[in-house]
Amino acid sequence: MEIITRYFDDFASQQKAQYEMLFPLYKEWNEKINVISRKDIDALYEKHVLHSLAIAAIIEFLPGQRIVDIGTGGGFPGIPLAIFFPETEFVLADSIRKKLTVVEEVAKAAGIRIIKTLWGRAEEIPE
């Protein structure tokens, strides 16, 4: 988590708490369903969360916008971005249902309410 605050230091206390919850949640879920390389799980913040937040350094999503993360896998970049932009709706889509189960459970446990999931292929996403 320290690497995240090195680059992004203006989180509300709720956002910081949500980011801190990600490691134990993903570690637990990754033991059941492999959504992150087992060799990368201990570097979750550096290799997954920080890389996801690099988008926030370039693009500012606005309240009320809908952002679609196609091929989200385990929820990257969608989950970290949803925490960063709590007024923006994120739709995380993937063709593998078990990965979306992890996304849904991590989002629920971390209190991220602006995430919706969509199971299917990119060309099946409604406009």
Q: What's the pLDDT tens digit per position in 21-39?
A: 999 999 999 999 999 998 8
Q: Is the pLDDT of residue 126 over 80?
A: no
How far apart CA 26 and CA 34 sit, in angstroms, is 10
Of 91, 10, 4, 16, nearest to 48 by C-alpha is: 4
Q: What is the reported pTM? A: 0.94
pLDDT: is 69 or 121 the higher one?
Answer: 69
The dihedral built from the CA positions of residue 35, 38, 41 and 43, taken in this order, carries a sign that is negative
Strand partners, 82: none
Q: Given this model, what pLDDT does residue 125 score?
A: 75
How much is the average pLDDT of 97-125?
93
For residue 109, the tally of other CB atoms under 10 A from its CB is 15
Residues near 67 by beta carbon (within 8 Å), at least 6 away in sequence: 61, 78, 81, 88, 89, 90, 91
Kindly report the CATH number that applies to the domain delimited by 2-124: 3.40.50.150
